[in-house]
Amino acid sequence: MPRHKEKQLKKTDEVLVKLDNMFQFTIDHPTRIEWIKNAILCCSYKEGDQWSAAEKAELKKRHQPPTVNNQVKVTIDRMVGQFVKNETRVGYRGRSGPEDVAAAETLTDIYLYIKQNNGLGFEERDQAEDGFTCGFGVMEAYISYDDMFQPEIILRAGDPLSTLFDPHSKRYDWNEDAAFVGRYKWLDVDEAKELYPSKAGQIATMFSNKSNTPLDGSDAIKNDNYIDEKKKRIRIVEMWYKVKEKKSIIVFDDPTLKTIPSDRFTTEKRKELDDSDSDYREIDRSE
């Protein structure tokens, strides 16, 4: 094997190990395990499944029906209704006077187009219902392409139960402090092979190992493997992670001079500015 390909494979393996560690760390974290257990219980209560197996057995022994007065769903439906009723239309206004009006109106029209194109009212409703039910909702924004291969902004409500994020994150906006976020989706084996034909052999090999325990109803509370042998399904995981790098920039007090990276701030340029008594600052930042 050529050396450059060997290095590429080694780097790929290192990345896969890193991503797997992130996934396993999140799945096994006590905070997520406890939240998943409670979230599934909350979803069950909303759907009217509020009796435990022991309670149902006792009711059956007494010849009593397991009736449910589902006030949980009534409350969630009321909150969702209030959310929809109080929906606010977003508009932009200029700060500097008449010269900003045209730009503000353009931004308002763009936002309205994106909202209508995505049915954003329905997506936000689903997100809110997830939040009222199990603690938080997820909205994904990404760029896709239409039939004419033109880029378009897509907004879709996600499944909070299959969403993964850094358990150490403390902010509502994961972009601020989460080291990684991810999601997973269960696919039938045949569908996975069709989507990833180059990996069909590897997918088949994964199911030759009969030691995997089938998943229970909690969908991975007790099982963190990638396959469900009983149902012939495979879990496809996507992870996004940050690679931080410390950089220094030069900021000039003279507004006519643009901020530049410090590695482009040559000794000659520094001396020139020092001789002219121009003020500048070197600022460290992490990205």
Number of structural domains found in the chain: 1
- The per-residue pLDDT for 44 is 93
| Confidence grade of residue 256 (pLDDT, cut at 50, 70, 90) | low
Across 140-151, b (16+ Cβ under 10 Å) vs e yields: eeeeeeeeeeee
Q: Please give the angle made by the CA atoms of 46, 47 and 50, to the nearest 5 degrees.
A: 80
Least confident of 60-64, 83-87, 131-135, 265-269: 265-269
Would residue 274 count as lying in a domain? yes
Would residue 260 count as lying in a domain? yes
What average pLDDT does the chain have?
Answer: 85
Burial degree of 42 (CB within 10 A; 0-12, 13-18, 19+) = middle
Per-residue tokens: 46 = 């909303």
Sheet of strand 246-252: strand arrangement: 260-261, 246-252, 280-286
Would residue 142 count as lying in a domain? no
Helix (H, G, I), strand (E, B) or coil at 41: helix
- The per-residue pLDDT for 220 is 36
What global pTM score does this model have? 0.75
Half-sphere exposure (CA, 13 Å, Cβ side) for 229?
13
Would residue 130 count as lying in a domain? no
pLDDT tens, position by position, 162-180: 999 999 999 888 888 999 9
Would residue 84 count as lying in a domain? no
Would residue 269 count as lying in a domain? yes
Would residue 262 count as lying in a domain? yes
| Average pLDDT rounded to a whole number, residues 71-77 | 96
For residue 212, how many other CB atoms are within 10 A of its CB?
15
Rg (CA), the chain: 27
pLDDT tens, position by position, 81-122: 999 999 888 899 988 888 899 999 999 999 999 999 999 999
Q: Are strands 163-165 and 180-188 parallel, antiparallel or unpaired?
A: antiparallel
Would residue 267 count as lying in a domain? yes
**Which range of residues forms the domain containing residue 259?**
246-286
